[in-house]
Amino acid sequence: MAPKRLAHEVHDGDNKKRRRRSNGAACPGQSEPFKTQCAITTAPEETEAPPQDKRSSSAMQDTTRVAVLVPFRDNHPAQKRQAQLDEFVPYMTEFLKRHCALKSASFHIFIIDQSLDGRKFNRGKLLNAGFDMARNDYDLYIFHDVDLLPGDDLGELYTTIPTLGPMHIARVWDRYNESSTYFGGIVAFTFQQFIKVNGFPNNFWGWGGEDNELYSRVVRKKFSIQAPARCVSLALTRYDMMLMSCGSWLMCIAVAQFAT
């Protein structure tokens, strides 16, 4: 039997809820170069795809539209992922409301949830799937771990389009500043930048590796990686890290969405 897919969409502004249900292995909006079907396959290396901005006209207006994409799975109680998500969503909703209001921007939080089937976690695949769902409507795409909470001094980075190159927001925190080649935690791209680097790799399972490959893809495309100043008054919070779970080859996703 094919795995089920469930996508949730919640709009905070008017309390309207829409749910889309479908069966089958295909994940939302499947298109090259992002292979987001639930039966995992290896992504082609550096498939050339010319940047084509297919966003809707609403995203081409003066107001900046921000998509925050969060990979998630809660299949190991010791990791406390559900508790982290329960704190992340209300915190980030209020954080983004404050800072988007300063620039008349809007935001949408996508929680891309891998199924509880005992398989290995695939962070890159989830984030590619989230981008593929959000790709038509946003100016700024922020790929964000669930166990990181930014302080208000970082708020402007969540509403500023990184025109000079992808932004490594988490670089302000010591763990993400140990190596200039480390590119994880919280990273921000424009639509064209993410398309040009061909997104995250799809074939990294379990703990780590996908962020290093993303860094390599960014460098190969000759982008200059931006980072906030180290003098920022930091209020980033990192929860205890746990080993990722073990597993195998199939993945089904659910996407929860929270928006202004």
Higher pLDDT, 46 or 167: 167
pTM: 0.71
**pLDDT digit string (tens) for 160-199?**
999 999 999 998 877 776 667 789 899 999 999 999 999 9
Residue 130's pLDDT is what?
A: 96
Q: Which residues pair with 65 in a beta bridge?
A: 106
**CA gap 187, 240 in Å, rounded:** 20
46 close to 217: Cβ distance less than 8 angstroms: yes
CATH topology of domain 4-13+65-259: Spore Coat Polysaccharide Biosynthesis Protein SpsA; Chain A (3.90.550)
Highest mean pLDDT (candidates 43-52, 187-196, 231-240): 187-196
pLDDT tens profile 21-32? 222 333 333 333
Query: Which of 177, 187, 191 shows the shortest CA–CA distance to 53?
Result: 191
Q: 85, 111 in Cβ contact below 8 A?
A: yes
